[in-house]
Structures are given as C-alpha cells and as structure tokens.
Amino acid sequence: MAKPVVFVLDPYHEDAVALLQSTEWVDLVLPSDPRRASWHRDADGVILRSETRLTADDFAAAAKLRIVVKQGVGVDNIDLDAARRAGVAVHNTPALNSEAVAEFSLALAFSLARRVAEVDRRVRAGEAVRRSETLGLSLFRKTVGVVGMGNIGRVAARKWIGACEASVVGYDPVAPADAWSDLPHRRVATLPELLEVSDVVTLHVPLLPSTRGMIGAKELAAMKDNAILVNAARGGVVDEKALLEELKKGRLWGAVLDAMEVEPPTLEAYGDGLLAMDNVIMTPHIGASTRENQSNSGIAVVKTLLAVLEGKADVPGKLV
C-alpha cells in the first residue's frame, strides 16, 4: 500500500519536522522540496501556517486531500466552506498559543506605557533623553478591558491581575454565562461599557464578519483619555484609518498592533501613517513566536495530522 503523502507548505519548527521525518509510514515533502509544487495532485495531508492561503480553487484541485492542519487558532486563511464541500477535514491547535500571545500582549502594553521603543529609537539616534521630560504611564492597579473571553483572553486577564493587580472587565457576546468563573472580573453586556472604563483595551477575538471593524471611530472616541489599545488578535478588527485619525488628536496614550491589515507591516503601507507616530508600536504578528511555543504547537499539529491519517476518532481541534 502506498504511503500517505504529507506536504509541509510553510516553515515549521525543527522538532515538528523531526517527528514527521521519524514517522516511517508517511512520505514527507518539505517546503524546500521541488515536489512542493505538486501538492494539489499528490497530497493526502497538508500542514501550514498563516503564510499560505487555501482557496476554493485549491480544494477543488486537491484530488486526494483528506486533512489540513493549521498551526494556531485563526483559520481565516482557509476557505472552510470549500473544504467542507470537498470533504476535507480541517483542524487547528486551540489553546496552545494562549500563554505566548497573552504574554506578548502584556509586553506590548508595558513597552508603550513606559515608552520603551520610543526612547530606544531616540537613544540610538544620538539624542540626549531627559528623564524629567520622558515620563511613562504606570499600569499598576489600572482597569484592563479584555475583549474576547476565550483561551487567550483568559490567560491575559490572569496575567494582568497577577502582574498589576488590575481590575479586569470582560466583554464577549458569545462566551457562556459562567466564563471566567475562576477569575475576579466584571463582565459587561456591551462593548461601550467596557471602553468607557478601561485604561487598557486588549483585543483577543477572531476575525469574523461580526468582529471586522469592531473598533472604529465611534469606539475609539469612547475610550478614556490616555487609554492604550492592544491588538494581538487579527488585522481587520481595528479600523486603522480611524485609529490614525484618533491618535493624531493626542488624546489616547497610544496603540500597539501585532495584527494589522497589511502583514508584515511595511513602510509603503504605514510609513506616512501609523509608523510615523511615536505612540504606536507595530510588530509582524509574532505574538506566538517563542521557541517553546513553536516547538509545542508544531508537534501538536503533526500529532493531529498523523492521528487523522491513521483513522482515529475524536481528534482535537476539528473545525470541518
């Protein structure tokens, strides 16, 4: 019997690749292999990250494809309806990125509040920085509004409480009523209620029709003076044009974005806009990019793929 052919379409951690290479009953095709171009014809299974998009045309052309596994939670780069029509199972790795992304969302907020990136740029440019004229913003015992009460939001809330004794306000229209029953927090029924009381607004929602542009001009205007906006979720959740206009008014402390409409962020897209603002930090969607997390989540992807190819039931992370 021919071995199932597994294509790795995007770069994966060496530990995940080593696990695949040690699995003798699969035929492995890595991104550097010239055979990669033939994945539509030959693939029984595919693993990918955010770099590769799978469209309806891809699924229509994938003659043998049985399983796609995406590292991470978000699957907006995969046409799930097309996968369903083609009879292809799609899995992700929920919860595994939570610690890393939550940790990074706090790091971004602290960096902006204490003006770390701004001051570093000024020092590197040879500027004499006067401490008395470079005051930061303390986040100790402030109110943190967490939008999205899923796995990442939960971990972020816990970290804010532990690090800053923060008062946490949660908002999520679809989370169950008993969500976060183990965490001290106040849950609000509407987004405006959260925005008007939060010193930090941190976003942890997927990109859906209901969340696209959920932070627009109206919502930004409702935020407190000197508030910080953190988007470590998905580009498109924040209306970037509206954010730039609000930041130009000088009322907000600033914004930190690890997710944006153009990824990775470029000077062409943002050089005259958000990247020209001292109170903006932009990073190229690296919230989950720790050595530990990439190893753990990459191995989880491979184990999921192999389990499906072996015909096991109740494999975690199934979306389609």
122 has catalytic annotation: no
**Cβ proximity of 96 and 300 under 8 Å:** yes
219 has catalytic annotation: no
**Token pair 């899995």: residue:** 91
Locate 226 and state its tokens: 């000197």
Cα(107)–Cα(102) distance, rounded to whole angstroms? Answer: 9
Half-sphere exposure of 280 (CA within 13 A, CB side): 24
Query: Exactly one of 285, 291, 292, 310 is catalytic; which is it?
Result: 285
Query: Exactly one of 219, 234, 240, 246 is catalytic; which is it?
Result: 234
Cα(20)–Cα(92) distance, rounded to whole angstroms? Answer: 17
285 has catalytic annotation: yes
Cα(144)–Cα(170) distance, rounded to whole angstroms? Answer: 9
Q: Name which of 207, 235, 175, 266 is nearest 78 in CA terms.
A: 207
116: left (phi over 0), alpha (psi -120 to 50) or beta: alpha
**Which positions are annotated as active-site residues?**
234, 263, 285
